[in-house]
Homo-oligomer: A and B are copies of this chain.
Amino acid sequence: MNAPPRMTRQRTAVADALADLADFRSAQQLHEVLRSRGDSVGLATVYRTLQALAEAREVDVLRNEDGESLYRRCARREHHHHLVCRGCGRTVEIDGPTVESWASTVGAAHGFEDIDHTVELWGTCADCRS
Residues of A within 8 A of B (CB): 63, 67, 69, 83, 85-86, 92, 94, 97-99, 102-103, 106-107, 110-126, 129
- CB pair A116 B121 closer than 8 Å: yes
Copies in the complex: 2
Q: A67-B63, A83-B112, A85-B112 are in contact. Are A117 and B106 (CB under 8 A)?
A: no
25 A-B contact pairs sorted by A residue (CB < 8 Å):
A67-B67, A67-B69, A83-B107, A83-B112, A85-B112, A94-B106, A97-B102, A103-B121, A106-B121, A110-B125, A111-B126, A112-B123, A112-B124, A112-B125, A113-B124, A114-B123, A115-B121, A115-B123, A116-B123, A117-B119, A118-B118, A118-B119, A118-B120, A118-B122, A119-B119
Whole-angstrom distance from the CB of A57 to the nearest CB of chain B? 16
